[in-house]
Amino acid sequence: MSLDLTDTEPSAETESEPKTTTDSPASPPDERHSVLRSQADGGVVAQLRLEHADLVLRPTLRRALENTVEPEYWTTTDRTILFVTVYGSEFDGFEGALAEDPTITDPVLVDRYPDRRVYRVTLTERALTFMPIATETNGRVLEITSTRDGWLVQLRFPDRDSLVAFNDECRTRGMSVSVEHLRVSDDEDDGVVALTEKQQELLLVAYQEGYFDVPRGISQDELADRLDVSKSAVSQRLRRAIGELCGATIA
C-alpha cells in the first residue's frame, strides 16, 4: 500500500504564549499559561511497514520466522547498542542467525524467561535504522515489532507534514515504506488508546471466544491457530494491547 494522505486534514498545532502583566500579581502556578510549545493536540498515528535488505536485524528476521522480535531501547556513544526482546519457544535458530547477521556484531544473551529472551547487539556500519529519522521528523514511536522482511512500526506525528517528511527521508535511504493503518486525531480524540489493527482483531476474537472468561473458552494456542499466527505473536500482542488499555484507563 502506497502512502496516500490526500483524504486527511493537517492538524493545527497550538502554541500557548506566556501571559505577562505589569498591573496585577503573578497568577498561581496552576493558572499560568504554559511556556512550552505543544504538540499534544491533534496529530497523525500511522502504522508503517518498513523494509530494506540492510535494516537492522533483517537477515536474522528472515531466517528466524518462528520468533517475534521487539526492540527495547538504543544507546549511542561511539557505537550503537540495541537491546531486543525475542518471543518464542525455540531460540537456537535465532541465535545461529544472529551470529551470521552482517547488520550487528557481538550478540549477547542478557536475560531469559520461559517464553522470551533478551539480547544485546551492537550495530555495524552496514545497518540501516529508522529511529534517527523518526526523531528528526518529530515522530514518537508507539510500538515496534518484527516482520519477515523488516519492521512494523506505529508512530505518532504532530501533523501530516511530519509523516510525509518521515516517509521521504526513509525513501531517500532506499527503505520501502507502506501504510497499513492511518488515523487522524482531532480535538475530541484523546489519542491514548492507539491499538494496531492486529491487536484489535486479536482482542475482539479473544473476547468473543471467551479467552477472558473463567474457565477460559479458548487458549493462546487456539487463538494462534484461529488467526494463523505464532503463539509468540499472540502472547506479545495481548500483552501490548492490554498494557495500552490499562494505561488509558487506570494509569
Q: Per-residue pLDDT tens for 184-196?
A: 765 444 444 556 7
What H or E segment, with its residue span, contains residue 51? Answer: strand 43-51
Which tops the pLDDT comparison, 249 or 120?
120
Q: Per-residue pLDDT tens for 78-111?
A: 889 999 999 988 899 999 999 999 999 999 999 9
H-type alpha helices, the chain: 58-63, 92-99, 131-136, 160-172, 197-208, 220-227, 231-249
Residue 111 cell numbers, joined = 536475560
Whether the full predicted model's pTM is greater than 0.95, yes or no, is no
Q: Is 80 exceeded by the pLDDT of residue 17?
A: no
pLDDT recorded at residue 13: 45
* Residue (of 131, 45, 87) closest to 236 by Cα position: 87
* Residue (of 113, 51, 106, 115) closest to 83 by Cα position: 106
